[in-house]
Amino acid sequence: MSNPFQSKIAIALISFAALFFVVFLLLPSHASSGWAAGYLLGFLAVVLHYVMALLTKKISEQYIMRYYFVGLFVRFLIVLGLFLLLITSGKFDHLSFTVSFLISYIFHSKIDMIILNEKLTNQSVK
C-alpha cells in the first residue's frame, strides 16, 4: 500500500476488527456467538455491494440505474433473508447479534463509501 490513504483505511479496518475480536472475547459465550454472526453478516452485506459495484463497472450509463436498483433489491433480499434465518434459527443472544450487525454494517458501509469516493475523485482528476 503505497498510498497513505490506503494505509489509513487498512489501519481503520484492522483496528475495528481487533476491537470486535476483543469484545467477542469479553462477552459471555451465548452472546459472543451472536456478536460474531452479526459482524460477519454486516461484513457480507458490504462485500456484496462491492462485488456488485465491480460487476457493473463496464455497464453503459443508460442502463446503470436499472442494474443498480435491481442489484440493490437483490442484495437487500439476500441480507434480509440471512438476517431472518439467523434470528429465527440461531441459538444465540439476539440483542448482541442485532447490535453487532448494525455497527458492522454501518462501519463497513462508510469505509466502502470512502473508498468509492476516493476512486471516483481520482478518476475525475485524471
Q: Which residue has the higher pLDDT, 19 or 69?
A: 19
49 domain-assigned:
yes
44/121 Cα distance (integer angstroms): 26
Domain-embedded: residue 74: yes
Q: Is residue 60 pLDDT above 80, yes or no?
A: no
Q: Does some domain include residue 68?
A: yes
Q: Alpha carbon 93 to chain centroid distance?
A: 21
Separation of first and last alpha carbons in the chain: 20
pLDDT of 120: 66
- Is 122 inside any structural domain? no
Query: Which residues, in sequence order, are CB contacts of 40 under 8 Å at separation 6+?
Result: 104
Please say whether the beta carbons of 25 and 32 come within 8 A.
yes
Q: How far apart are CA 122 and CA 83, in angstroms?
A: 36
Average pLDDT over residues 6-22: 84
Our count of domains for the chain comes to 1
pTM of this prediction? 0.71
Question: Domain range for residue 17?
Answer: 4-117
Does some domain include residue 126? no
The average pLDDT across 13-40 equals 87
Q: Round to whole Å and give the CA distance between 125 and 67.
A: 26
Residue 33: closest CA among 91, 103, 82, 79: 91
Q: Which grid cell is 76?
A: 437487500
**Does residue 125 belong to any structural domain of this protein?**
no
The rounded distance, in Å, linking the Cα atoms of 36 and 21 is 8
> Is residue 25 a part of any domain in this protein?
yes
Candidate ranges 11-15, 64-68, 116-120, 121-125; pick with highest mean pLDDT: 11-15
Confidence at residue 123, expressed as pLDDT on a 0 to 100 scale: 58
User: For residue 71, is it within any domain?
Assistant: yes
Check residue 1 and give its pLDDT.
47
With beta carbons less than 8 A apart as the criterion, state whether 62 and 122 touch.
Answer: no
